[in-house]
Amino acid sequence: MHLLKDIYNRDFKTLRVSLLSRCNLSCVYCTMGEDDIKDANHTAPVDSVTLLQTIQQLHDLLQLETIRLTGGEPLLYHELIPVIKGIKAMGIDEIKLTTNGFLLERMAEQMKDAGMRSINVSLDAIDEDVFFLMSKRSHVQRILDGIDKAVDAGLQVKINAVIMKGVNDTQLLPLLDYAFARNITIRFLEVMAMGHLHAEPAKYLFTQEDILSTIATKYNFKKINRADSSTANYWQTEAGNKFGIIANESEPFCHDCNRLRLDSDGNIYGCLSSNHPISLKHVTDTQTLIEKLQQAMDQKQVAKFVGSELSMLHIGG
């Protein structure tokens, strides 16, 4: 085992794996509302055997503890179940996934049986009209039914909601009430300076302070100590319900980030603020892989998150 570390002496135990760059929603913070599912420029997803070989190579060097599967929308990946089973067979027990939930009702039990432990479901609105405004799709009830199915299947579920000023900020309290009624932890995300929003994130930024002020109109709460390498700050209400805020702009968490990202084209990234993908394609020998990983780790930073012109759809959400 090689003790690979970045320039801040951090090692990396979490790998986010983007299975494909295609999505069945067109959320405005990711795609400007374009219909990306019809985009002919999407590359074909790598097959599960090749993907698992790459993950195994990385695991051999890094001794990974957590894999998070992302996309695009990972439930569109036809070999999702074999990938989950393959990761489980490597001895990695913390297998997680981030999904928009649109196909979750039919996939939840299969994922749990294959070895999935927990999922994050992106849900930016409860109201059907606002959901359409955010995602350019209808039928938010499909996601709500999927969440219920995932909970029934025994998956640990968190809800992620990107809050955009003037677009869906009216949904903050309804989303919170929905999550609290089901004893589900919800996390609110400040909009990220990624892709088409890189040049103007402040236009839609609903800050951590704004979020807390809104919640304070209905609930009393206190802050919980932040866990090492956590992406979110957490608070707990007097009734014991927990909510978090991922404050990329207001309170970045770069200083103890322990994540690397593998995109669906076989590129690895050390940081979302880097525009420099490092290709792992056709890398078979250990020494070259070590050098590539070290390049990715050298991208890590401890300063403020500055974002990138790369879309989260392509680098992995």
pLDDT per residue, tens digit, the chain (317 aa), is: 556 777 777 778 899 999 998 899 988 887 765 554 444 345 678 899 999 999 999 999 999 999 999 989 999 999 999 999 999 999 999 999 999 999 999 999 999 999 999 999 999 999 999 999 999 999 999 999 999 999 999 999 999 999 999 999 999 999 999 999 999 999 999 887 555 555 676 788 899 999 999 999 999 999 998 776 677 899 999 999 999 998 887 776 666 677 888 998 899 988 776 668 899 988 989 999 999 998 888 877 656 665 555 655 666 65
224: how many CB neighbours lie within 10 A of its CB?
12
List phi, psi (to 5°) of 95: -105, 120
Burial class (CB in 10 A: 0-12, 13-18, 19+), 287: exposed
Confidence (pLDDT) at 11: 77
CB-CB contact of 203 with 232 (8 Å): no
Determine if the pTM surpasses 0.85.
Answer: yes
| Spatial CB neighbours of 100, under 8 Å, sequence gap ≥ 6 | 23, 24, 25, 27, 73, 121, 122, 135, 143
d(CA 65, CA 258): 11
CA 240: distance to chain centroid? 25
Confidence (pLDDT) at 42: 56
Using DSSP bridges, classify how beta strands 259-262 and 242-246 pair: parallel, antiparallel or unpaired.
Answer: unpaired
Sheet (strand 259-262) strand order? 221-224, 233-237, 242-246, 185-190, 156-163, 118-122, 94-99, 66-70, 14-18, 259-262, 267-269, 278-279
- In the chain, the domains with their CATH numbers are 14-315 (3.20.20.70)
